[in-house]
């Protein structure tokens, strides 16, 4: 894929994978729009990257997503790429009495309903744009869940499935549908993740991912080498073993 002179929206673009993807697109000559919940961070990032634009957006707010789609297409009519990166990840204890249902509801609203709502709102605009692309960010945990984050893992499995269906339905259009499935990456998504020695360094993940995204033809699933064990676990007949490794319960 070519990102020079493309207008690219990255949700969750103020930290972690989203921020570094936005920086990479910007360095390649893309016109980058980042969306996030914190205005201060948006201002800091856009000030440091002239030409980058930032907007406040809570992906869990259905009305805000709809309003944002109208606004961003009006102000940026050349918009032709979107990266659905915004997400939250929290541990849950389902056996607790009572369990915290709010974590599950917030996670579903942000990680699953957010991308679905924004795609519905943007798709009529995107279908008319040459070189358009919709990119979702799932996770290796879509294929083998981390049991302490059951709803996060479930939303990523749902995004994987939904992306496949969207790709099939848009197969005869000019809009590409690409899924990025990261392994554990050293970010602040969860406490301790940034210093986790078993997670992939963020800069290495971005370098490998951007290389795959710029491959011609770009693969439908962008999977760095380190996520392969999770992605292929079921097909390889190693699911139980990999599940045990992920959840520290060797089988």
Question: In the chain, what are the helix, strand and coil shares in percent, each to the nearest 5?
Answer: 45, 15, 40
The CA dihedral of 156, 154, 172, 59, to the nearest 10 degrees, is: -60
Q: How many CB atoms lie within 10 A of CB 151?
A: 22
Q: How large is the C-alpha radius of gyration of the chain?
A: 18
Active-site residue, 152 included: yes
In terms of residues, how long is the chain? 251
What HEC string does 174-221 produce? CCEEEEECCCCECCCCCCCCCCCCCCECHHHHHHHHHHHHCCCCCCCE
Q: HSE on the CB side for 133, CA within 13 Å?
A: 21
Q: Is 29 left (phi over 0), alpha (psi -120 to 50) or beta?
A: left
In the set 25, 68, 143, 152, the catalytic residue is: 152
Contact between residue 15 and residue 186 where contact means Cβ atoms under 8 Å apart = no
Active site residues: 152
């Amino acid at each position: 894929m070519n990102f020079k002179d493309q207008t690219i929206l990255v949700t969750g673009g103020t930290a972690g994978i989203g921020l570094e993807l936005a920086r990479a697109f910007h360095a390649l000559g893309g016109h980058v729009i980042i969306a996030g919940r914190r205005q201060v961070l948006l201002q800091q990032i856009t000030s440091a990257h002239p030409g980058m634009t930032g907007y406040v957006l809570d992906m869990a707010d259905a009305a805000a997503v709809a309003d944002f789609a109208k606004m961003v297409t009006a102000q940026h009519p050349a918009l032709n790429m979107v990266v659905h990166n915004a997400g939250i990840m929290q541990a849950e204890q389902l056996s607790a009495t009572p369990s915290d249902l709010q974590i599950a509801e917030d996670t579903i609203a942000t990680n699953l309903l957010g991308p679905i709502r924004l795609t519905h709102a943007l798709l009529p605009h995107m279908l008319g744009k040459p070189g358009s692309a919709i990119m979702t960010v799932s996770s290796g945990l879509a294929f083998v869940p981390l049991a302490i984050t059951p709803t996060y893992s479930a939303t990523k499995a749902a995004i994987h499935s939904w992306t496949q269906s969207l790709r099939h339905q848009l197969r005869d259009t000019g809009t590409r549908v690409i899924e990025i499935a990261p392994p554990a990456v050293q970010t602040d998504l969860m406490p301790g993740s940034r210093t986790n020695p078993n997670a992939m360094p963020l800069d290495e993940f971005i370098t490998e991912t951007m290389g795959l995204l710029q491959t011609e033809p770009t693969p439908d699933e962008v999977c760095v080498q380190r996520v392969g064990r999770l992605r292929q676990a079921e097909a390889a007949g190693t699911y139980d073993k990999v599940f045990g490794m992920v959840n520290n319960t060797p089988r």
